[in-house]
Amino acid sequence: MNATKENNIRPVWHTKTFEEIFTILETDGEGLDYSEVERRIEKYGKNKLPEVAPDSILRIFLRQFESPLIYVLIAAAGVVLLLGEGLDAVVIFAVLLINAIIGSIQEGRAQNTIASLRKFIETKATVLRDGREVIIPDNELVPGDIIVVQEGERVPADARLITIRNLRVSEAALTGESVPVRKTTDTPTWDEIAVSDRRNMIYRGTHITTGTGRAIIVGTGLNTEIGTIAKEIVSINNDVPLKIEIGRLARLIVIITALISISLFTIGIVAGKGVIEMLLTVVTLSVSVVPEGLPIVLTVVLATGVWRMSKQNALVKRMQAVEALGQIDILAVDKTGTLTRNEIIVQKIYTNNKFFKVGGVGYEPHGEIILDGAEVEVANHPELLLLGKMSSLCASARVLFNNETNQWNISGDPTEAAMLVLSQKLGFHKDVFENEFPIISEMPFDYNLKYHAVLNREGDINVLSLSGAPEIILDFCNTIIINGDTITINETMRSEIELVLMGMSKDGLRVIALATLKGVSDLPSITTPPHATFVGFLGMHDALRSEVPSIVMRARDAGVRTVMITGDHRVTAQAVASEAGIFSEGDKILTGRDIDTMSDEELTNTIQSVSVFARVTPEHKIKIIRAYKSAGNIIAMTGDGVNDAPSLSAADLGVSMGVVGTEVAKSASDIVLLDDNLE
């Protein structure tokens, strides 16, 4: 039975306790037995999306004839053949055949390349069956199953969390939010919550960055959030501008030819000419008006454009997309993974009353440290040495170089990975530290406590290192290190530190505070909070791709306005858009909530003054695309995530990332950037 045979009414799972879900799905904490699983597979279907078979060579070939202009040419060739002009008919049919062969070769190459981009990996899932943990292929999961998730795994289906331990999930591919989301088992009392804010849910295709948990599956196959997006993509019917213009040209040719033919036929009959004579004259004139060479000229020109773009690592799936690229006047870009690298890095340091900027590319462990516009030697700044040492001690993540992809990858929490990369830029190596300063005890980051504590042995004394939410760490601190001296924090100094924190937050940075304490015997607790020394702030953000500002400027010079559409928060979106050159003073920012309150007409009238759309869902993105089209704009959309796929399909031109992009996004787009380079 197909997965679509799921009940039509989907409960609002995030508003229900897991006890209520147990009742609805007729299960318990011990999981399902195998006979019940078989029954549910029959009822709900396999946990997979419908697979669309690649088009056959014949289907690709026949698709080349799907154009009103081609229909006109075929009709003209048929009439010429009936008039006994066999050679002319053969020439027309030969032109159409050559045109179809060229188009088929190009589309076939694109389809083969897309197929090679798909790295099929059978994901496994840990599930409770008959009270025991077993590992099975994820397509065998059913609603009511109890799954176990842990760090590094991909979530196999939509599920409501039952128990968690420091669980954080990267939902960038689904929601566009770059920072991993901390999960909870709490049950909200209202149902109108965006997917990105449903903290007690995990969704298929997202990734566990840290922690572990158990959850009950509530949606599989098409009845997942990704499945919903897949259904939206199928419902979207969109043509590139050139195809629309060719259709208009064909209709115009038919109308004008018909009017001229009727007029000429009428005049000839009035002038005393014979019916057969005038009929032959009209048919000959009609055939001569049809531009037989236009299709092959267009195909050759577009194929040349495709070839040139392929030299720049751009895969064109539809030749007509080349022409659409030259018509666009609005370029809508996604933030996470498109404008940014989807790599959280430390950009700014505040310590010893100084601001340091941190250079480097992504997770690469190299980069310059800049103070007042000049690069500094880290060894000459004791405050940087202390901060780098603490960043290394507090980082549980790992950064590894992948020789196959020639990229640096992380394992563990992205925030702690950013701290580890910073420590390496400052000259520290965690492997050496772990031997020199052995860990006595450690308290991983806890969602409720909001800090990470690690106790190390340094020579004859114990040293406590704290990292976490600034408001929590600052409450622990009664002293601060200034120019090497530890002094008491007075109210004036505390206010100044808080102003620094506010300023960094307004710049769209995610701020982590660091503090230290020597001579302690144990980790802090709720009843015995530490009296620590404040060391500094780390300002993190998702690294902007180096080529983005110049691309935005060149697009503007070419008459193309760039706007950003993202699921991230308003402040973060504005900061990134400003850095990229997209947002300027006086521009408007619209959020998903703003769009919900506007009619289609109001959005269309407002949209020209907006440069940033924040906290939007896939449904909002489609509404934005349609508003631009209603305003008469030709719009291109770039993206990489599952949440971008509907808008990639709805835009006049969809462009996806080939390296970091999801398979759904690549399938929905017209052009795939094989190296993720927007230039």
Closest CA to 333 of 583, 588, 111: 583
C-alpha distances out from residue 21 to 16, 26, 213, 390, 561, Å? 7, 8, 17, 44, 48
* DSSP assignment string, 21-54: HHHHTT--TT-B-HHHHHHHHHHH--SSPPPPPP
CA distance 580 to 334: 12
CA distance 184 to 168: 9
List the one residue out of 412, 314, 426 whose CA is nearest residue 366.
426
Angle at CA of residue 464, ends 460 and 470, nearest 5°? 160
In the chain, count H helices and then E strands.
23, 28
From 138, 334, 644, 670, active-site residue: 334
Active-site residue, 191 included: no
Q: Which structure tokens are listed for 421?
A: 């990369």
Structure tokens at 610: 């907006």
Give the Cβ contact number of residue 418 at 10 Å. 29
Neighbours of 226 (CB within 10 A): 23
Contact status, residue 641 vs residue 336, Cβ threshold 8 Å: yes
CB of 321 within 8 A of CB of 619? no
CA distance 243 to 472: 59
Smallest CA-to-CA distance from 31 within 136, 121, 122 is with 136
CA distances 440 to 48, 386, 526, 527, Å, are 46, 19, 20, 21
Q: Who's near 55: CB < 8 A, 6+ residues apart?
A: 63, 111
Alpha-carbon span 518 to 462, nearest angstrom? 6
Please state at what angle helix 68-82 crosses helix 294-310, rounded to 10 degrees: 140
Bridge partner list, 344: 542
For residue 355, give both structure tokens: 């601001």
State the distance between the two ends of the chain, measured CA to CA, in whole angstroms: 47
Residues identified as active-site: 334
